[in-house]
Amino acid sequence: MPRFLHTADWQIGRQYSRFAEEDASILADARFTAIETLAALATEQAVDAVLVAGDVFDAQNLSDRTIHRTFQAMAGFTGPWLLLPGNHDAALAESVWTHAQRLSAVPDNVDLLLTPEVRVYQDLGFAVLPAPLTQRQTYNDLTEWFDRADTPEGLLRIGLAHGSVEGQLAEEIDSTNPIAADRAATARLDYLALGDWHGYKTIDARTRYSGTPEQERFKDNGAGQALIVDIERPGAEPQVQSHTTGQFQWIKHQDTLAVASDIERLMTELDALPPRSVVDLTLNGEVDLSGYQTLLHYLGGAEARHRSFQSHLSGLNLIPTEEDIAALHADGYVGEVIGELRERQEGQGEEADTARTALAILAGMLRENGTTSESEQVESAK
Amino acid code (one letter) for 210 = S
Containing 347, the helix (H) or strand (E) segment is none
Regions of the chain short of the pLDDT cut 50: 173-175, 371-382
Cα separation values, 270 from 2, 164, 219, 222, 273, Å: 44, 35, 18, 21, 5
C-alpha angle 162-55-124 in degrees, rounded to nearest 5: 70
Answer whether 42's CB lies under 8 Å from 229's CB: no
| Alpha helix segments (H runs only) across the chain | 21-44, 64-72, 96-102, 183-186, 261-271, 289-305, 322-327, 332-344, 350-368, 374-381
Answer whether 177's CB lies under 8 Å from 164's CB: yes
Amino acid code (one letter) for 122 = Q
pLDDT score of 149: 97
Indicate the SS3 state at residue 42: helix
Cα separation values, 275 from 26, 164, 167, 327, Å: 15, 34, 37, 37
Cα separation values, 44 from 39, 48, 297, Å: 9, 11, 45
pLDDT digits (tens, 9 = 90+) for 128-172: 999 999 999 898 999 999 999 999 999 999 999 999 998 876 555
State the Cα–Cα distance between residues 218 and 239, nearest whole angstrom: 29
In terms of Cα–Cα distance, which of 102, 50, 111 is closest to 76?
50
Answer whether 131's CB lies under 8 Å from 162's CB: yes
Answer whether 344's CB lies under 8 Å from 355's CB: yes
The DSSP string of 280-297 is EEEEEEEE-HHHHHHHHH
C-alpha angle 278-284-285 in degrees, rounded to nearest 5: 150
Answer whether 221's CB lies under 8 Å from 200's CB: yes
> Going from the N-terminus, what domains does the chain have, and what CATH number goes with each?
3-244 (3.60.21.10), 250-381 (no CATH)
Amino acid code (one letter) for 239 = Q
In terms of Cα–Cα distance, which of 224, 222, 187, 225 is closest to 207?
187
Name 89's Cβ contacts closer than 8 Å, sequence gap at least 6: 54, 55, 56, 57, 58, 59, 60, 95, 96, 97
State the Cα–Cα distance between residues 182 and 165, nearest whole angstrom: 9
